[in-house]
Structure 1
Amino acid sequence: MNKPELLAPAGDLEKLKMAIIYGADAVYIGGEEFGLRKASKNFTLEDIEKGIEFAHDRDRKVYVTLNIIPHNEDLVGLDEYVLELEKIGVDGVIVADPGVFSVIRRVAPNMPIHLSTQASATNYETIKFWYDLGIRRIVVARELSLEEIKEIKESLPEDLEIEAFVHGAMCISYSGRCLLSNYMVGRDANRGECAHPCRWKYSLMEEKRPGEYFPIYENEKGTFIFNSKDLCMIENIPELIEAGVCSFKIEGRVKSQYYVATVIRSYRKAIDEYFRLKEDYVYKEEWLEEIKKASYRDFTTGFYFKKPTGEDQVYGSSSYIREYDFVGLVLDYDEKTEIATIEQRNRMFVGDEIEVFGPNKEFFVQKIEDMWNENGEEIDVAPHPQQIIKMKMKKPVENWDIIRRARKD
């Protein structure tokens, strides 16, 4: 049994680096065109090349999304773009549309193509159709159960790879094919511009009583009738592996560096622990507790074990739960003086209790006793975004270690 790939989202070059440092085997990114996440910063071709170099130097992979459902004008320039991606060495592209697939096959016949979840592959005959055309990895529809995935894997050749989402935001619409955003605000979700109207609060208005709004209650807590809980399968690593999932995909290209590092770190630990212990593997609650130190909604296992019910929705709010703030990123550490150079990410004060963690260490807790600015002047607070400060550390730290703090009321 091969260890599954841990596949991380990366909305920009810094997130790509963070994902790889914290344990991702591969990242998926979007360029400035042809992808479904225009809300993230995304990558220029120059940044893609830099990201590929960073990843390949560490024996990691980079996949690029080309998964829009295009109109005619969206195809302009696709040929040239694909050739540029091939030239700079991407490890694969993610595609939903047959026309985009055809263009790639014509201009870059050796380019590995992964079928996006947007293509709604829900059965082995559909997947065999794509397999016969040359696709060797399928990102299965999120509406599949583990039993269905297992049946697909058993019905098709061994070199077919199954990739599946295991963590992150869930879309209320079938495989992400949604017209609600386009209808309500003119932003086409299938061309990368989703406004997420599924997270909005709704009321009811009767036709002959314009202006009279009545709350919609599916229970007594609220009116967010489309708002799904987040997917989380950290407790079910063995079941995913046994079903034949070979790539564990984390959602979140618009999420922060801190989110990516925190979630990837926990899944990395769980996967490695499973392959280290096999039949003696035991899930550790601390992995989920760490994930909850990044922003999250309440969690669900989606369609993997049953069809979702009202228990898999969040009716009271569309907000994330945020119990910790990302306050600093370690840039350097002097072992002799035990002083770290830190890039500030949120305000922190002398006297704050902080937690420090890294990709290869458990977190430790300390109080901020002293801080200095770039000029060596002692300061009580670091208020400026990305301000460079120095701080005495209780234990040794390394570049890329993260400092977080419980949120203050």
Structure 2
Amino acid sequence: MIEWSAEDLMIRDAVRGWIDAEVRPRLDALDSGELPPYGLLRDLFRTFGMDEMARQSFQARLARERDGGGTGGADADPGEDRPGGDPAMGMLPVIELCKVAPGLVSAMGVSLGLAAGTIMKRGDLEQKRRWGLDLLTLDKIGAWAITEPGSGSDAFGGMQATARRDGDDYVLNGSKTFITNGPHADTIVFYCKLDDGRDPRDREILTFVLDRGMPGLEQSRPLRKMGLHSSPTGELFLNDVRAGEDRLLRSGSGSGRDSARQNFVTERAGVAAMALGVIEECLRLSVDYARKRELWGRPIGDFQLIQLKLAKMEVARLNVQNLVFRHIEMARKGRTPTLAEASAMKLYAAQAASEVAMEAVQLFGGNGYMSEYRVEQLARDAKSFQIYAGTDEIQVTHIARDLLSR
């Protein structure tokens, strides 16, 4: 794949039109945190029939599994339930939304790709019926809770949240932080360690599905943060939350650790599409500004240092676009990136987006530091790409370990 098809471009333009009409006028309210993103995301799904496509795909998948035609387990095609089927259909809204409000994509991606994705890979038929469809259609919002205040990049080893057996149930305790959709989530996929007396670092990782309002479960108000204000982030506190076996995800091959690692791949590969949206918008705004802004009687685009900035932005755009195209082709062939491949994609794309956005601020000068000029918001939002889903430093570790193990 070297370019978007005519059909892709039609979809892109339709999504772009919806964003211009529905998102841009509400951008200030989204960036201030005054307006949660979920109403807009549901409208996006309804407008383009993505909810109905997800519903049809869900019913077809469950019918196959019920008839023995598919396992639906951890090794199932991660794109099987993607609205629209073709991975390009999933990528284009991500790219276009990230040109305006990347936080919308974070909120949507966690609910669909991580929360719903985990349930659809690890859940049994009843669990998928109970929670999967509502998440895939965005009728309900999901959160994926693994990060803790004291663990950070050491997500598994440093995990302190526990599940203790008590009769037929489990009793869950612990806290999670930096949880996307945490304040508003209806459904929470919660990772913790089985309290079985073994050394904490060796304990089994369990995955539970929790619902808003369960006794002992507290969801914080949105946290204040540097960027991605259109994506509510919060904390979770569990104090003796009782969860039955029906809430434990056990289907499919592998463990809770394997489930989380597969989601890291999904999340990291998706950052490339998010980064492309930021880069394309920063480049568009910068080219337009370089043509109109004059210095010493000349457009600043006439000066070589400005031209160098624009040229580097275009190089970054081409490189990240090629990563996105490669990911689409892999998905069409049923291949999932390895953890190292996904880490490489995220490392390069995240750094490129952050660098392009900061160069756009520099090109705009004093105007670039003002919120009136959109590059200021995009620079704040792009920085998050280098932190969430694993920091740059963690991506380097995963890539290097893969190289050294060959």
TM-score of the pair, normalised by structure 1: 0.28
Which structure has greater strand proportion? 1
TM-score of the pair, normalised by structure 2: 0.29
